[in-house]
Amino acid sequence: MIEKKSLKSKKILLGINIDHVATLREARGGIFPSVFEAAMESIRAGADGITVHLREDRRHIQDDDVNELRKKISVPLNLEMSVSEPMVKIACCVKPEKACLVPERREELTTEGGLNVMKERKRIREVVKRLKNAGVLVSLFIDPIPKQIDAAHETETDFVELHTGSYANTCGSAKKRELGRLRAASRRLHEFGIGVNAGHGLDYKNVELVARLPYLQELNIGHSIISRAVFVGLFNAVKEMKKIIREAYS
């Protein structure tokens, strides 16, 4: 109990990923629904940040979306991006408050796993340095694997976003094991002085236990909130998620 109280001395931030508002827009090739309006409604409901993934294939979020959000929203913009040179140049030009480096494959439906920092350590370290020199806080999206965490530490990243997909997609004893891996990873990151975020596959039923992870600072959630918004509206969907997270660590 002493550890829990000391680790939960401040609130956990909630970043809303609005990619799939753009997915719906791009299905008809028009201008509705508005990504910017979705961001504003999320902020009105209490979102602490807005996350978008500018993919190389531009399947949902577009360059104009990123530029508009960077100029107009009142909370930090978190740009998910690959480590490709075109994306790095865009980020250094737009200068979002935060950038999260993620793996990206053209054929995937969504990001399927964490970065292989061990394999791409040199390139990732270079990108981290360039983004930080541009005034951008940098996060690496990685699986809760000790060797990957050690490699992330060597890149001098500001944050790591722990990939919670395996936790979200399992049940029973397997889910408990995945939660244990996330807990151990969070403690290891804290020892390195790296900020701890988490996200991927989190929804209204499974987020509570993740919100209780030690040293957790921010959760980034998108698909489940946008899906919930179809039935209750985006404002209420965000408020509901905020309430679950708040009650998890209070």
Question: Per the annotation, where are the binding residues?
Answer: 17, 19-20, 28, 55, 60, 110, 201, 222-223
Number of domains present in the structure of the chain: 1
**DSSP designation for 142:** E
Q: Which of 204, 211, 206 is nearest to 232 (CA)?
A: 204
Question: Per the annotation, where are the binding residues for 1-deoxy-D-xylulose 5-phosphate?
Answer: 19-20, 55, 60, 110
Burial class (CB in 10 A: 0-12, 13-18, 19+), 14: buried
Q: Can you give the residue range of the structural domain that contains 103?
A: 2-249
Res 162 pLDDT > 60? yes
Start-to-end CA distance of the chain, whole Å, equals 12
CB 95 within 8 A of CB 130: no
pLDDT at 106: 56
pLDDT at 93: 98
pTM tops 0.75: yes
Q: What is the mean pLDDT of the chain?
A: 94
Residues annotated as catalytic (active site), given as ranges: 53, 80, 200
Domain with residue 204: its CATH number is: 3.20.20.70
What SS3 class is residue 163?
A: strand
Phi and psi torsions of 76, nearest 5°: -60, 140
Vertex 202 angle, CA 211 and 160, to 5°: 65
Burial class (CB in 10 A: 0-12, 13-18, 19+), 208: middle
Distance in angstroms (rounded) separating the CA atoms of residues 151 and 211: 25
pLDDT tens profile 40-74: 999 999 999 999 999 999 999 999 999 999 999 99
